[in-house]
Structure 1
C-alpha cells in the first residue's frame, strides 16, 4: 500500500543541501554550547528532528539512515529530560545524554514560560517510542497532567485528554477503552481541523493498534498519513514547507509499535522510513 506525498519541495529554488546544512552545523557544534542554557535541551532536539525530517528527501543510504536515527535518539532523551525537570521545578538534576557534557539544571520558571504543554509531550513520548527508549517512555508516562495544566501555554481539553489516553494505555489501566471513546467524542464535538484531522487521526490509528474495533491498522495508518499531510500543508501556508508532515512522530511511533508486536506494516511511505519502523539502529 503506497502513500505518495502530495507536497513536493522546490529544490531548484532551495536545494536540499541548504535545508540540511544549518542543522548539521549546529549538531556538530552541540558539545561546545550544550551546557550554556537549559532550553538547549529543546532547541538541540528540534534541530535533530528537523534534520531527520528533511533527510527523508535524501537517498536512504546507510550513512543517511544512521544520521537520522542517531539524531532522533538524542532528541528523544533531550525532550524527556527537559519535561522531567518540570515535574519538580525546584530540584537540581544532573543529566547525562550519551556523549554530551553532563549538565545540572532545575525546572524553575518552566511552567511560567509555558514550556510543559501537551504538544511537547506528544512529540517527546512518541520519539521515545520510535527510538525504543523505554526509560524515557516510562518517565513521560508518569508526567502529571495537572502539572501540565499549570503551564502558561494552555491547550484545549482534547489535548489533555489525549495525554491521559496514552498514559492510561501505557500503564495498562482498565479505564483506557472508556477514555479512548470519551476523547473521540470530545474531538468530534470540538470539530475544528486540528481536532478532526490530527487528534482523531491519532485516536483512530491508536484504536486500530490497541483495540478489537475491527479496524485495519494499515488502512487507517495510510488514511491518516494523507489527512495529516493535508492539514500541515494548509497550516503551513503557501510560503512554508509542511515540515512536520515529512515525519509524523505520532503516526510513525504507532507504526513502530505495530511492528514490534510482530505485525507487518504494509504501508510504504517516505514519511514512514523502514529503518525507523524496524528499529534498525535501536
Structure 2
C-alpha cells in the first residue's frame, strides 16, 4: 500500500530544501564541539537531529542521505536517554561516553524545575531508541518513574502520563498491559483533540502490533497492523497540517517517531511492513545502519 503525503512544501516556490536543512546540518557537523559546552545540549542536539532526519525525507534517498539521517538519529537516541537519566537522578554526577563523541559529565540539578522530563519528551526519546535499535536506552527509559515526570514544571494531561505507563507496560510485558491500554484508549476518547487524533492513533497501532496479548475486553481495533499503520499515518498528517496552520510546515508529520517505531517493532518480529510512505523511511524500518 503506497501512501502519498498530502503536504507539499513547494520548495521551488518558497523556501528551498537546502535552507531548511542548513541549521540542523550545522548542528550535525558541530556535535563534537557542542556536546561539551553545556548539559542542555544533549536535548538540543537530539531535537536538531530529529529535525534533520525529518527534512531529509524530502531528499532523494541515496545511501549518503540515509547514512546522514541514521547517524544523526543514532547520536540523538543516546543523548536523549542520557538527558532524561540526569533528570531521574538530579543530584548525581553522571558520565556519558556516546560512541566517538567526547566524554561528558553532568548532573541534573534544576531540570525538573525548568520543565524537562515531560511525557512528550519521554515518548519521543523511547521511540527514537526503538528506531535505532538502542536497547540500552530503551531499557533505561522503560524504568523512568512516572512520578518523577509529574514533578516537572511542565505539566501534561492525564492521557500523556497514561501513555507512558502503557508503553512501559508493553516494554516489560506486564500482565496488566491490556488493562492499561484499554483504560488509556477510553481516556483518549473522552479527552478529544490531540488525545483522540494522536494518542489514540498510537494506542490503536500498538494494539494491532500485539493483538494476541490483548484480552477480549480490550478495545477491538478491527484491523491488522498494516491497516492500522496506514490509517494513522494519514490521520496524523492531517492533524499536524491543521495544527501547524497555513504559514508553518507540519514538520512532525514528516517522520512520526512513534508510528515509525512501531513499524520497526513489527519488522523485527519477523513480519512484513507493507505500507510504503516517505514518512516511514524503509532503511529505518529495516534497521539498515543499526546492526
Q: Aligned residue for 2:215?
A: none
Instruction: Tell me the alpha carbon deviations over residues 116-167 of structure 1, each in whole angstroms, 9 at most, x when there is no partner.
Output: 0000001000000000000000000000000000000000000000000000
Q: Aligned residue for 2:285?
A: 277
Instruction: Tell me the alpha carbon deviations over residues 173-210 of structure 1, each in whole angstroms, 9 at most, x when there is no partner.
Output: 1000000000000001112x201110000000000001
Q: Aligned residue for 1:140?
A: 141
Q: Aligned residue for 1:184?
A: 185
Q: Aligned residue for 1:119?
A: 120
2-side partners of 1:263 and 1:147: how far apart?
A: 36
Q: Aligned residue for 2:107?
A: 106
Q: Aligned residue for 2:266?
A: 258
1:33 deviation in Å?
2.6
Q: Aligned residue for 1:149?
A: 150
- 1:164-243 equivalences under 5 Å are 164-191=165-192, 193-212=193-212, 213=220, 215-243=223-251
1:74 deviation in Å?
0.6
2:15 matches 1:7: no
2-side partners of 1:274 and 1:37: how far apart?
A: 34
Normalising by structure 2, report the TM-score. 0.95
Q: Aligned residue for 1:23?
A: 24
Q: Which runs of 5+ in 2 are unaligned?
A: 213-219
SS in 1 for 2:36: helix
Q: Aligned residue for 1:33?
A: 34
1:97 deviation in Å?
1.1
Q: Which runs of 5+ in 1 are unaligned?
A: none
SS in 2 for 1:60: coil
1:23 deviation in Å?
1.3
1-side partners of 2:118 and 2:198: how far apart?
A: 16
- 1:28-107 equivalences under 5 Å are 28-107=29-108
Say which is worse superposed, 244-253 or 203-212, in terms of deviation: 203-212
1:215 deviation in Å?
2.9
Instruction: Tell me the alpha carbon deviations over residues 35-83 of structure 1, each in whole angstroms, 9 at most, x when there is no partner.
Output: 1111100111111110100000000000000110011111111100000
1:10 deviation in Å?
1.9
1-side partners of 2:80 and 2:93: how far apart?
A: 17
SS in 1 for 2:2: coil
2-side partners of 1:172 and 1:261: how far apart?
A: 15
The Cα RMSD (Å) is 0.9
1:100 deviation in Å?
1.2
Q: Aligned residue for 2:217?
A: none
In the TM superposition, structure 1's runs of 4+ consecutive aligned residues that sit over 4 Å from their partners are none
Normalising by structure 1, report the TM-score. 0.98
1-side partners of 2:34 and 2:118: how far apart?
A: 26
